[in-house]
Amino acid sequence: MEHFDIATVAEQSADFRRVLWTGEHSQLVIMTIPPGGEIGEEVHEDTDQVLTFVSGTGEARVAGSKRKVTQGDLVAVPAGTKHNFVNTGPNPLVLYTVYGPPEHAEGAVHATKEEADEAEESGKDEPPQS
């Protein structure tokens, strides 16, 4: 059994993306998006995603709609839906997200968006095969 004080763990991570836990059917990831940064527009064809915002302010862009997000907000993104999350505030936008099934390599840590993009392009960020 894994146990996390998820808000504290997320707030203490300066990494763009850090995989905290990977199970057979889902995965827990924390993210820190710097001021002016974004996750980047993407679509996960076969993966649902639920994002919970811990601190900061941003904008959720999901399926052509835009909505402000802040501490305590949750956004569900069904598989196959185009989405992006942008930091619109002066402080980091901190969140945790659950993917089902896993989306990233088990234990992956990417300090920056550029590092995360490079890992995805090279295939080094593939989720475990079940």
Q: Does residue 66 contact residue 59 with C-beta atoms inside 8 Å? A: yes
Residue with tokens 């862009």: 61
Q: What is the pLDDT of residue 123?
A: 77
- Reported CATH class of domain 15-122: mainly beta
Per-residue confidence (pLDDT) for residue 126, from 0 to 100: 73
Sheet order of strands, 109-110 included: 74-77, 48-55, 93-100, 27-33, 17-22, 109-110
Give the pLDDT confidence score for residue 129 in this predicted structure.
Answer: 60
Query: Is the Cβ–Cβ distance between 19 and 63 less than 8 Å?
Result: no
Report pLDDT for 117.
Answer: 87
* Domain segments of the chain as ranges: 15-122
Q: What is the pLDDT of residue 122?
A: 81
pLDDT of residue 29: 96
Has residue 63 got a pLDDT over 80?
yes
In tens, the pLDDT along 75-118 reads 999 999 999 999 999 999 999 999 999 988 888 899 998 998 89
pLDDT of 130 higher than 60: no
Rounded to whole angstroms, the Cα distance separating 94 from 70 reads 9
Give the least confident one: 30-39, 56-65, 105-114: 105-114
